[in-house]
Structure 1
């Protein structure tokens, strides 16, 4: 890496009050970065949806040069761990106050957090303080049912001594292995708030009573009233889909919550929304949403909770679109919007397993044809080149490594020919922002075909 390129990258990533190391010794820097990365899982095994590879590599460089806390707490925040693409519009929403508590074995640190009225997202670090605690932290026994106690706190009522805990809430979490160091692990958490205004975070292996409690500052949300019935998206258990009545959609830059009623209980369906941006761009639910949970409220009325894959800049969002009608965020009158038919869900054949450990596979040419994506097959090299949404993927028979816009990525299992048809694992769909489900037949006895939501 040339000095001027490193200096530019440093300026974009590290706060201005921290000077770039000079003089730069490229060989020493490479050696130190490689040392830092050697303790991490292979970056090439990370899914593209996480979008952390480049940033994690540079963070490793910064860690090697100036230390972990600076590198992680200043610019590598909770938004990077949950959202892909540009997160700058949500940066003002992030609570960067570093909260920590220690005992003789561990230090628990909440590096950064962000929340709205329904969800809190956290970036948490654990530092092991002894050789024994460090060995345990990196063992298979560390992550278990008793490792974490993280729950929302409701406001105190009736002058009680303690805040209460909501009766219905949940927590999802995972370790960010690409940020692991010789004495630290990093974790991301998403917590259902259920109306709470504060959180309690505890590492179960610390001494009794050691916990962090802090207030939240939720991002503002906007609710769009829909009150219309239309076709819903097919599901794992109902590949046909069915009608659904969408009552309202509540949006923040982080999440999308939909209250809807399934018209026919025997024809389960999910809400099928589009998002119309101010510049006229139409974004599909497959491109933009990650399903988190669905909670029955009453009868066949459900609350569907989604997290955006990329931060949603509400100032650039004009309307929510359902069944060909746009419902403006500013409360204006609904109006008709033309939806390209190829953006609606469709079915393609389910192919055989490639490996016993893998899942069902996608017929690549059929997928491209349904998406109206380009597909070119080279018989001599046994290579297919496919382009959709300005992303080009090159697949080679026998190889589990694909080229995505020229960058090698691991598909988890090799691409194969099955009776002359090119077959690839389901991870292929992620690189095009597709939601794919291997749906059951009507008797729920076997998987029959793929449901694809563009």
Structure 2
């Protein structure tokens, strides 16, 4: 089974030769993007918390960096449309009729701004944006990032200008959107430059609630062009969603005991949303065990062929999927202990394999790298027992073989090369280093499995990708001299 990056790689139809790219510049831009997200969320000092959205965007950025710095084989990624970039699992053809790819460009004497393709599902906007310099000075300013940097001078000051010139980032105000009737949030990721005169980004905008089709277009513009030169994204065409209005009490988070009354649930091919009236005390949502908060939404799709899709399989990121769902093939929606048939039949108690529900798993003995960094290793044997997966251990070769959801992993103690359905994959983790300028760099390192009796302690990143599960470390605050204690693994199948 190939990773998502390998699947994209194989589907690109790349030419035999690729343009030269500057690895240091790419790394700098990735680091700048990470810094922007970290500044926006202002996390506390201490072990990195596993916010689901940050976790997934971190993976996207690092995967892009690695692909770009190993031969530039993704240099043609700008040719990919919005479906290829945002939805990396399964068949996306059911939403192809709703992709807009003939949006009118806007230009002034220096730049042309184009929305190459976009998709709107009633709450989320996914768009690929490209800007092209139209004269030599504009090209120089765009490719050196001076265009974005100078646009930040007045509101942010000289320090921000210097940082953006060095990093190549668009900055906090570089790309903006405006829809007067609804608020939301925006994520921006660099794409490889389409040419030596242009730059591209993939952008997702998420409104605070499902709003459906809108007559008013969404305006998106660049700071150095100004709002008068905004591309206007049409918002009047969406796939008809599935709606259920149960008005039933549910458990929103079984670990924290959070209850609510589910008023409405909306499913689109690429996302879901719901209205929940909170009941009782929700103060434990900010519990000392930081990551139990992400175990909300006991949400599953029962399909007409009898299969069940979990949020981890769908690749959920803040209610946005990586896999497109064919709504005509959905039989029912499960939320907590209730099952809601999509044909309007009355809700019933859900019959669901308990192994599909999130669970806590004790951490193994700590595994550290040479510099004393605690690694994200977990017990493969214990994980398989809890998931109901196959597990075999060969004492002579110190090799573990595990199979789950039709995917086989073979790992050997002391080797970071893991076989996934027979294909060698290098298991890695990322550490932070400080360069001579005092700037942080994110560097890959081999994640070597460690034997523990007839068990193997393995890094969690590869398991997540191969089996479509989430493995999140839960930390307690202020219970040790360091201020944090690693309590458990939270596994979301």
TM-score using structure 2 length: 0.67
- How many residues align? The count is 385
* Residue of structure 2 aligned with 1:361, choices 370, 374, 377: 377
> What SS does structure 2 have at the residue aligned with 1:81?
helix
Return the alpha-carbon distance in structure 2 between the equivalents of residues 241 and 439 of structure 1: 17
Return the alpha-carbon distance in structure 2 between the equivalents of residues 139 and 223 of structure 1: 48
Q: 1:358, CA displacement in angstroms?
A: 7.0
User: Partner of 2:461 in structure 1?
Assistant: 427
Relative to structure 1, is the Cα distance of residues 62 and 286 closer, same or farther in structure 2, using a 3 angstrom cutoff? Answer: closer
User: Partner of 2:172 in structure 1?
Assistant: 145
> What SS does structure 2 have at the residue aligned with 1:232?
strand
1:163-182 equivalences in 2 (<5 Å): 166=182, 168-177=183-192, 182=196
Work out whether 1:80 is the aligned partner of 2:87.
no
Q: 1:250, CA displacement in angstroms?
A: 0.7
User: Partner of 2:449 in structure 1?
Assistant: 416
Q: 1:339, CA displacement in angstroms?
A: 1.0
Pairwise CA RMSD? 3.8
Return the alpha-carbon distance in structure 2 between the equivalents of residues 337 and 344 of structure 1: 12
Return the alpha-carbon distance in structure 2 between the equivalents of residues 380 and 115 of structure 1: 55
Q: 1:87, CA displacement in angstroms?
A: 0.4
Relative to structure 1, is the Cα distance of residues 105 and 403 closer, same or farther in structure 2, using a 3 angstrom cutoff? Answer: farther
Return the alpha-carbon distance in structure 1 between the equivalents of residues 178 and 354 of structure 2: 43
Return the alpha-carbon distance in structure 1 between the equivalents of residues 26 and 419 of structure 2: 20
1:77-156 equivalences in 2 (<5 Å): 77-83=81-87, 84-103=89-108, 106-128=111-133, 130-136=139-145, 140-154=167-181
Q: 1:113, CA displacement in angstroms?
A: 0.7
Return the alpha-carbon distance in structure 2 between the equivalents of residues 107 and 321 of structure 1: 46
Return the alpha-carbon distance in structure 1 between the equivalents of residues 338 and 227 of structure 2: 55
Preserved contact between residue 112 and residue 123 of structure 1 (Cα < 8 Å): yes
1:220-235 equivalences in 2 (<5 Å): 220-233=240-253
Relative to structure 1, is the Cα distance of residues 130 and 358 closer, same or farther in structure 2, using a 3 angstrom cutoff? Answer: farther
Return the alpha-carbon distance in structure 1 between the equivalents of residues 261 and 63 of structure 2: 34
Q: 1:175, CA displacement in angstroms?
A: 1.9
Deviation string 1:194-252 (CA, Å, 9 cap, x unpaired) is 54642111122336733222331341223112222243345xxxx45544432221111
Q: 1:48, CA displacement in angstroms?
A: 9.0
Relative to structure 1, is the Cα distance of residues 134 and 396 closer, same or farther in structure 2, using a 3 angstrom cutoff? Answer: farther
Give unmatched runs, 5+ long, in structure 2. Answer: 1-10, 28-57, 147-164, 286-292, 430-446
Give unmatched runs, 5+ long, in structure 1. Answer: 1-11, 15-25, 155-165, 293-305
Q: 1:371, CA displacement in angstroms?
A: 0.7
TM-score using structure 1 length: 0.72
Work out whether 1:287 is the aligned partner of 2:313.
yes
* Residue of structure 2 aligned with 1:216, choices 221, 235, 245: 235
Deviation string 1:46-71 (CA, Å, 9 cap, x unpaired) is 95999999x99xxx99987xxx9xx7
